[in-house]
Amino acid sequence: MNVLIIGSGGRESAFAHAIKKSNLLTTLFVAPGNGGTAKIAENVNLQENDFEGISHFCKQNKIELILIGPEVPLVDGIRDFLEKDIELKDLLIIGPGKIGAQLEGSKAFSKEFMLNYKIPTAAYKTFNELNINESDVFLESLSPPYVLKADGPAAGKGVLIIDNLIEAKKELREMILDKKFGESSSQVVIEEFLSGTEVSMFVLTDGESYVILPEAKDYKRIGNNDTGPNTGGMGAVSPVYFADKNFTDKVIQQIINPTIKGLKNENISYKGFIFFGLINCEGNPKVIEYNCRMGDPETEAVLPRIKSDFLKLLINCGTSNLRETVLDIDNRTSLTVVLASGGYPAAFEKGYPISGVENVEHSLIFEAGTKTDNKLTTTNGGRVMALTSLATDINQAREKIYHDIEKINYTKKYFRTDIGEDLII
């Protein structure tokens, strides 16, 4: 079968590597892809928001399955666009429609959904221009720190955690009245601060059944020991020791099952990944956020642990046959470290040649912000590549990966040196 992946990050490289292994694959395309996907698939010069172009490409190239990596095209309705085209009626689309993607696209929507289906999450209230006068009373009822979330997408910057009450009141007004994050903050969710350790769980659902993928911990801050600004993720580890059977059973009963049932109940036909951003509050899981896609860099840590045919898994999702699917999981530890361009997540330089990749011995390489022209690969983004190594424990995985990272060279290479350290037991 011909497959098209939409996206250009490390997550899409990991998808491409996994799909490439399948005997069911004929040709693999990635749009727009990156320097790494160019080496194992055919990159297509189409941007993720070019729905017309993508639809045309699917028809011209007899694409039978399309996997949408990032959230933006999903939130903007790529599934709905492709589904209404009769010529694409047999195309298997992996990713939810516009309404299902609201689980990620609108914090107000996802909080209301969780409240309706009694899914454990932080207490909250939603405010906009009309009820902003009631916000002071709600903020005063909470204990610091105060969590303010722009309703809509804000490129990972829309969540503010503020210690001071006066400052929280001021920020809320800036978000709603001065549109600090544009239209995305015309509505703001204020919620109770939860303390605990975060873990991400992932399911692939066909709307009726689901399979659970291995869980992962993501390292969001740019600096060691979780310091500095938030990024899309600087590393990941899977499995996470505290997500044991007892914890996972609670997640299944209290969170995953009611989510799948809730979607069905709301007549939201959902075929794709659901990413549950969870926090472990003294042994009890609560949902911090939903995403309507896989995580990046979590995918780079999770997929290498899936031994089953990944394309077959996607086909089973697309054809509503997940009930029959059992995943074969590698029980080793997978550790991912992201190599970035110095300066990221603020301004950074690009265009520097990358060397030494061929000397990497013990790790998988998933390129992200790279470009390959005439066999020369150069840096082309903030997150340049992710390396993943599998080993019997975190210590060994760390040893392998940091040894391999030394072999890769480019100007302004930056990475965190503490990935996984906090999970060593």
Q: How far is the CB of 279 from ligand AMP (least distance, A)?
A: 7
Q: How far apart are CA 240 and CA 423, in angstroms?
A: 7
**Options 11-19, 191-199, 366-374, 398-406: segment touching ligand AMP (CB under 6 A):** 191-199
Q: Does 218 bind ligand GLY (CB under 6 A)?
A: yes
Q: How far apart are CA 27 and CA 42, in angstroms?
A: 8
Q: Which of 22, 187, 291, 377 contacts ligand GLY by CB under 6 A? A: 291
Selection from ligand GLY, ligand AMP, none that 122 binds (CB < 5 to 8 A by kind) is ligand AMP
CA distances from 62 to 57, 90, 264, 315 (A): 8, 10, 31, 16
Q: How far apart are CA 368 and CA 366, in angstroms?
A: 7
Question: Is residue 145 reached through a cis peptide bond, with omega within 30 degrees of 0 on the bond before it?
Answer: yes
Q: Which of residues 292-351 bind ligand AMP (CB under 6 A)?
A: none
Q: How far apart are CA 360 and CA 298, in angstroms?
A: 21
Q: How far is the CB of 378 from ligand AMP (least distance, A)?
A: 32
**Residue 252 DSSP symbol:** I
Q: How far apart are CA 349 and CA 379, in angstroms?
A: 9
Task: Please give the size of the binding site for ligand AMP, defined by CB under 6 A.
Answer: 12
Binding mask 171-210 for ligand GLY (x = CB under 6 A): ----------------------------------------
Q: Which of residues 109-148 bind ligand GLY (CB under 6 A)?
A: none
Q: Which of residues 219-248 bind ligand GLY (CB under 6 A)?
A: 232-233
Q: How far apart are CA 390 and CA 370, in angstroms?
A: 24
Give buried/exposed letters for 275-291 (b at 16+ CB in 10 A, else e): bbbbbbeeeebbbbbbb
What residues pair up with 280 in beta bridges, in sequence order? Answer: 197, 285
Q: Please, which residue, 79 or 149, has the CB nearer to ligand AMP? A: 149
Q: Please, which residue, 135 or 299, has the CB nearer to ligand GLY? A: 299
Please name which of 119, 106, 105, 92 lies closest in space to residue 271, comparing C-alpha atoms.
92
Q: How far is the CB of 233 from ligand GLY (least distance, A)?
A: 4
Q: Which residues contact 71 (CB under 8 A, 6 or more apart)?
A: 101, 104, 105, 153, 291, 292, 293
Q: Which of residues 46-65 bind ligand GLY (CB under 6 A)?
A: none
Q: What is the dihedral of CA 110, 116, 119, 123, to 10 degrees?
A: 70
Q: Within its chain, how far is the Cα of 285 from the centroid?
A: 19
Question: Is residue 73 reached through a cis peptide bond, with omega within 30 degrees of 0 on the bond before it?
Answer: no
Q: How far is the CB of 155 from ligand GLY (least distance, A)?
A: 11
Q: How far is the CB of 302 from ligand AMP (least distance, A)?
A: 17
**Options 70-78, 163-171, 190-198, 332-340: segment touching ligand AMP (CB under 6 A):** 190-198
Task: Find out whether 216 and 236 touch, Cβ atoms under 8 Å.
Answer: yes
Selection from ligand AMP, ligand GLY, none that 232 binds (CB < 5 to 8 A by kind) is ligand GLY
Task: Find out whether 25 and 63 touch, Cβ atoms under 8 Å.
Answer: no
Task: Please give the size of the binding site for ligand GLY, defined by CB under 6 A.
Answer: 7
Q: Does 296 bind ligand GLY (CB under 6 A)?
A: yes
Q: Does 197 bind ligand AMP (CB under 6 A)?
A: no
**Options 34-42, 192-200, 237-245, 346-354: segment touching ligand AMP (CB under 6 A):** 192-200
Q: How far apart are CA 172 and CA 185, in angstroms?
A: 9
Q: Does 154 bind ligand AMP (CB under 6 A)?
A: no
Q: Which of 194, 252, 306, 329 contacts ligand AMP by CB under 6 A? A: 194
Q: Does 138 bind ligand AMP (CB under 6 A)?
A: no
For the packed helices 10-20 and 310-318, what is the interaxial angle rounded to 10 degrees?
100
**Options 186-194, 252-260, 363-371, 385-393: segment touching ligand AMP (CB under 6 A):** 186-194
Binding mask 84-123 for ligand AMP (x = CB under 6 A): --------------------------------------x-
Q: How far is the CB of 27 from ligand GLY (least distance, A)?
A: 28
Q: Which of 24, 38, 159, 327 contacts ligand AMP by CB under 6 A? A: 159
Q: How far apart are CA 334 and CA 186, in angstroms?
A: 40
The binding site for ligand GLY (CB under 6 A) comprises: 218, 232-233, 291, 295-296, 298
The binding site for ligand AMP (CB under 6 A) comprises: 122, 147, 149, 159, 191-194, 198, 277, 288-289
